[in-house]
Chain A
Amino acid sequence: MDSYLRLAGITKLFGDFKALDDVNIDVAEATVHAILGENGAGKTTLMNIIYGLYQPEQGDIFLKGCKVAIPTPRDAIHMGIGMIHQHFMLVDTLTVTENVILGLEGLGANIKLKEHEEKIAALSQDFGFQVDPKAEIWKLPMGMRQRVEILKVLYRDASLLILDEPTSVLAPNEITSFLDGLDRLRASGKTVLFITHKLEEVMSAGDRITVMRHGKITAHTDVQHTNATEMARLMVGRDVVLDLERPKVDQGEVVLEVAAANATDERGLHALKDVSLTIREGEILGIAGVDGNGQAELAEVITGMRALDSGRILVRGEDISHKTVAQRRHQHRMGYVPEDRHGTGLVLDFPVTKNCMLRDYDQAPFARHSVIQAAAVAERAEQWVEKYDVRLRSVHQQARFLSGGNQQKVIFAREVEFGPDILVVMQPCKGLDVGAIEAVQNTIIAQKKAGKAILYISTELEDILGVCDRIGVMCHGEITGVISPEEATAERVGMLMAGIKETA
């Protein structure tokens, strides 16, 4: 097989942050090449470089053996590179044909719609897409819209197709036919580069796999020579040396119990399946797993942000399944560090002071008789900023202007200082530098020493192994196993992550 696209030593910096670090990839012609990695591993950045949206600081791109520069997407299109974005770029009210020819060069004033329609119909037939060129986009299901996106690219004679997380918007049955579509593309000589963090798809549709982690390539391999377990391990981390202090704490009674919890996600899919777990005083239960396997839904049903379909949540034996977020926080002392700092954990347009009072805004000392005590708020904020070493110019500064690590410290201060009994922490170290990670981990360990029950959800296996007493692994909304850190070999966790249950 000839090399179609070769990337040599690509490095991309965003400020001081190395989004891509000496990336080398060789994509053979007429193959499906999967780029596998967690969110933030640098996959999308890499694709944007190939499509001319970003310029690399270092490194070369070779197309069919010739060194090329791709300054803009327009150039990429001319070179036969087409991109299908994760979020579709279609005009809902136009027809398939109109969308496909939209922005086509040399169209002129007299658009021969009929001609285009016929050509698109033929193209659709060639690839078995069954797309009606006259259909309006808004009437089509997601799977069809994706085919329209692919047709758009094929109509411009692309021979290299880049698909960014193509299955994330599809229903399960649509995924199967999408994977069939990939086969037909390959059979007709197209080269496909497809980005994903879903293992099964790679195993069933890919030819070669490149695994990325923290902007670096961690492995190149053929699908035949690997398995899902190994892939999961490569994706989330190498074997870990346990170097963090993991103090033994006498575990007390059960604080939090989740019993046979079921819940649905935004797309109406069954995201939590009969999940049960318990956490005791002074215990950290880790939840590992590839992103999007029900972890977010688990955190949300516990904290009251999402309704249960069935099952129960108990705190010290009391059923709190139907209590509100505020009741769970104030009556049952539940702290929650959410995954999405910007979207959930903070109001970025608020100053740090208001973010400090965000979750206890109607409680003393922040408010008395519904009147906000601005002086008390500022005083608390100053104390916390000092105690948690938050770097900022003033507590009246907008949270937006703090770095990620400092934003996370503000959230931790708020969620810990109110005196929680239970702490739910999700992806607390995502996007943080080493120093900030250490501060976060130390805060969590200190809370454990203080006898709190802690649920620690992370896709970073290293983080979990470092601090947790027990580790539950989630896959497809189920807990596939609970093991101790000593038992947690990479192979074993990898297997659980890939959904291969252990028979105890």
Chain B
Amino acid sequence: MMLKGIELFYLLRPVWAVLLALVLGSALIALGGVNPLAAYKELFGGAFFDYYGFANTLVKMSPILLAGLAVVIPLRAGLFNIGAEGQIYMGGLLAAMAALYLPEIPAAIHIPVVIIAGAIGGGLWGFIPGYLKAYHGINEVIVTILMNYVGINLVSYFAGGPMMQEGAPYPYSEEIAEYLWLPWIMGGTDAHAGILFGLGLALIAWLTIRFTTVGFALDTVGKNQTAGRYAGINVKRQILVSMFVAGAFAGLAGTFEVIGLKFRLYHLFSPGYGYDGIVVAFLAGLNPILVPLSAFFLSGLKAGAHIMQRATGLESTVIDAIQGLVIIFVAASLAFRFNQSQWKRILDRRKSMERQLAEQNAGAKSGSD
């Protein structure tokens, strides 16, 4: 019973880590001369309990959620995808190209084509490091990091060069046709349907990993590659497919930024959502069904930061610092693993001590009688 409780305590590590980060963050806020409780009230109230603030949270959550999934899926197979950022850019680029340059076709076909093009753009950016890892043993961390720069700068080139709108003051493309825009989900706000796609994909990813042979093979490869080969799993294919799917998810994040929010291809259109995905993935303990929750929290922090700044005058960069603390504490909390036998020993020892004490007390009582 006690043991189960302790196990649950361990299971909730990320929650404790976040709380600890917020407590320490309150010291930072106090240092800035603001009452931490008031600041947090503005922050979370603004992010979650205000119509426009909440919409803003959802706007940020759409790409962060998908990027989180793009990190979780390969990580289940033991691969570290740091490249969600580049994959977001490539997804946005191909989606924008499909939206702007395809000859006229009915919307019912054009919309899926744009979405698929975005998925393929990101997928390709995941497939390349996956291929290099599977067939040439090249470290996927390094390749994905470097490919981020390539992806980001390719978008800057196209948005500021061949695709740039004539006379635009800033590198961005023509506006895409309105029939391709994603529908809004909250009237009068920017919140778009991308978030619904993300939630659906999180559910699908969870079901697949939890209940199918595909997920079993993925987890086996992640936990012990040799045993995976021994089990008859095609390890190389697992690496390729998981990296492609991850890239496609991130590519969708970029796609929805383009057709759901900005309606043009801007240069530098993602402020690091791909990296936020890494935080979200770990905060969710690599469980796809928890990714929406952790993405919601992180997006809330980001969306609430400005509201807090306006209300209290405290620099919103404090929130960046708190975000950093969240990352540090979550990462550190993962090092504490529940050791059943160790806790059992401790509990047993305590029990036997209590018993001895009880016996002594009983003995003392009967002695004094």
User: Are A and B bound to each other?
Assistant: yes
Chain A positions near chain B (C-beta within 8 angstroms): 305, 324-326, 329-330, 336, 338, 340, 343-350, 354, 357-359, 361-362, 367, 370-372, 401
| Contact A348 B217, CB 8 Å, known A359-B231, A372-B211, A372-B212 | no
B231 neighbours in A (Cβ, 8 Å): 325, 358-359, 361
Does B220 have its Cβ within 8 Å of any Cβ on chain A? yes
Query: Which of B18-26, B221-229, B276-284, B351-359 has 4 or more CB atoms under 8 Å from chain A?
Result: B221-229
- Among the listed B214, B219, B232, B234, which residue makes an inter-chain contact with A359, where contact means beta carbons less than 8 Å apart? B232
Q: A340-B226, A371-B213, A372-B216 are in contact. List 5 more A-B contacts (CB 8 A).
A: A305-B230, A330-B232, A357-B216, A361-B216, A367-B213
> Nearest Cβ in chain B — how far from A265, in angstroms?
15
Q: Are A346 and B217 in contact (CB under 8 A)?
A: no
- Among the listed B230, B234, B341, which residue makes an inter-chain contact with A344, where contact means beta carbons less than 8 Å apart? B230
- State the CA gap A401–B344 with chains docked (Å): 13
Q: Are B217 and A361 in contact (CB under 8 A)?
A: yes
Q: Are A347 and B220 in contact (CB under 8 A)?
A: yes
- State the CA gap A5–B219 with chains docked (Å): 51
Q: Are A344 and B214 in contact (CB under 8 A)?
A: no
> Nearest Cβ in chain A — how far from B367, in angstroms?
40
| Contact A347 B224, CB 8 Å, known A358-B231, A359-B232 | yes
The CB with the most chain A CB atoms within 10 A, among B214, B226, B230, B341, is that of: B230
- State the CA gap A345–B219 with chains docked (Å): 15
A343 nearest in chain B by CB position: B226
- State the CA gap A330–B231 with chains docked (Å): 11
Does B317 have its Cβ within 8 Å of any Cβ on chain A? no
5 contacts between A and B (CB under 8 A): A325-B230, A344-B230, A350-B220, A350-B223, A359-B231
Q: Are B229 and A325 in contact (CB under 8 A)?
A: yes
Does B361 have its Cβ within 8 Å of any Cβ on chain A? no
- Among the listed B227, B229, B234, which residue makes an inter-chain contact with A346, where contact means beta carbons less than 8 Å apart? B227
- State the CA gap A219–B227 with chains docked (Å): 39
A325 neighbours in B (Cβ, 8 Å): 229-232
- Among the listed A324, A367, A370, which residue makes an inter-chain contact with B232, where contact means beta carbons less than 8 Å apart? A324
Task: Please encode chain B, from 1 to 41, with 1 for each CB lying within 8 Å of some chain A CB and 0 for all others.
Answer: 00000000000000000000000000000000000000000
- Among the listed B212, B219, B234, which residue makes an inter-chain contact with A370, where contact means beta carbons less than 8 Å apart? B212
- State the CA gap A350–B228 with chains docked (Å): 12
Does B340 have its Cβ within 8 Å of any Cβ on chain A? yes
- The interface size bin for chain B is 20 to 34
| Contact A345 B230, CB 8 Å, known A354-B216, A372-B212, A372-B216 | yes
B340 nearest in chain A by CB position: A401
- State the CA gap A196–B94 with chains docked (Å): 60
A325 nearest in chain B by CB position: B232
B212 nearest in chain A by CB position: A370
> Nearest Cβ in chain B — how far from A410, in angstroms?
13
B228 nearest in chain A by CB position: A347
- State the CA gap A305–B232 with chains docked (Å): 9
Q: Are A372 and B213 in contact (CB under 8 A)?
A: yes
A346 neighbours in B (Cβ, 8 Å): 224, 227
- State the CA gap A401–B224 with chains docked (Å): 16
Q: Are A370 and B230 in contact (CB under 8 A)?
A: no
- State the CA gap A305–B223 with chains docked (Å): 18
- State the CA gap A326–B235 with chains docked (Å): 12
Q: Are B341 and A401 in contact (CB under 8 A)?
A: yes
B215 nearest in chain A by CB position: A372
Q: Are B226 and A344 in contact (CB under 8 A)?
A: yes
- State the CA gap A343–B211 with chains docked (Å): 25
Task: Enumerate B330-368 residues with CB–CB distance to A below 8 Å.
Answer: 340-341
> Nearest Cβ in chain B — how far from A462, in angstroms?
27
Task: Enumerate B202-261 residues with CB–CB distance to A below 8 Å.
Answer: 211-214, 216-217, 219-220, 223-224, 226-227, 229-234
Q: Are A347 and B223 in contact (CB under 8 A)?
A: yes
B340 neighbours in A (Cβ, 8 Å): 401
A373 nearest in chain B by CB position: B211
Q: Are A344 and B227 in contact (CB under 8 A)?
A: yes
A329 neighbours in B (Cβ, 8 Å): 232
Q: Are A336 and B212 in contact (CB under 8 A)?
A: no
A354 neighbours in B (Cβ, 8 Å): 216
B219 neighbours in A (Cβ, 8 Å): 350
- State the CA gap A280–B293 with chains docked (Å): 59
- State the CA gap A343–B212 with chains docked (Å): 24
> Nearest Cβ in chain B — how far from A302, in angstroms?
13
Q: Are B223 and A362 in contact (CB under 8 A)?
A: no
- Among the listed B220, B227, B234, which residue makes an inter-chain contact with A343, where contact means beta carbons less than 8 Å apart? B227
A324 nearest in chain B by CB position: B232
Q: Are B223 and A361 in contact (CB under 8 A)?
A: no
B227 neighbours in A (Cβ, 8 Å): 343-347, 358
Q: Are B212 and A371 in contact (CB under 8 A)?
A: yes
- State the CA gap A336–B219 with chains docked (Å): 21
| Contact A348 B232, CB 8 Å, known A370-B212, A401-B340 | no
B232 neighbours in A (Cβ, 8 Å): 324-326, 329-330, 359
Q: Are B212 and A338 in contact (CB under 8 A)?
A: no
A344 neighbours in B (Cβ, 8 Å): 226-227, 230
- State the CA gap A344–B211 with chains docked (Å): 24
Q: Are A358 and B213 in contact (CB under 8 A)?
A: no
- Among the listed A330, A338, A347, A371, which residue makes an inter-chain contact with B211, where contact means beta carbons less than 8 Å apart? A371
The CB with the most chain B CB atoms within 10 A, among A336, A354, A361, A401, is that of: A361
Ranked 9 nearest A-B pairs via Cβ? A326-B232, A325-B232, A362-B213, A347-B224, A349-B223, A358-B231, A370-B213, A347-B223, A347-B227
> Nearest Cβ in chain B — how far from A35, in angstroms?
30
B217 nearest in chain A by CB position: A361
- State the CA gap A435–B223 with chains docked (Å): 31
A349 neighbours in B (Cβ, 8 Å): 223-224
Q: Are B213 and A361 in contact (CB under 8 A)?
A: yes
> Nearest Cβ in chain A — how far from B335, in angstroms?
16
- State the CA gap A191–B308 with chains docked (Å): 73
> Nearest Cβ in chain A — how far from B162, in angstroms?
44
A366 nearest in chain B by CB position: B213
B221 nearest in chain A by CB position: A347
- State the CA gap A325–B231 with chains docked (Å): 8
- State the CA gap A367–B226 with chains docked (Å): 22
Q: Are A305 and B229 in contact (CB under 8 A)?
A: yes
- State the CA gap A346–B230 with chains docked (Å): 9
- State the CA gap A324–B235 with chains docked (Å): 12
> Nearest Cβ in chain A — how far from B216, in angstroms?
5
> Nearest Cβ in chain B — how far from A133, in angstroms?
32
B229 neighbours in A (Cβ, 8 Å): 305, 325
> Nearest Cβ in chain B — how far from A427, in angstroms?
15
Q: Are A338 and B216 in contact (CB under 8 A)?
A: no
> Nearest Cβ in chain A — how far from B108, in angstroms?
30
B217 neighbours in A (Cβ, 8 Å): 361-362
A336 neighbours in B (Cβ, 8 Å): 230
- State the CA gap A305–B230 with chains docked (Å): 7
Q: Are A348 and B224 in contact (CB under 8 A)?
A: yes
Task: Please encode chain B, from 81 to 110, with 1 for each CB lying within 8 Å of some chain A CB and 0 for all others.
Answer: 000000000000000000000000000000
| Contact A359 B216, CB 8 Å, known A347-B224, A350-B223, A401-B340 | no
The CB with the most chain A CB atoms within 10 A, among B220, B229, B232, is that of: B232
A324 neighbours in B (Cβ, 8 Å): 232, 234
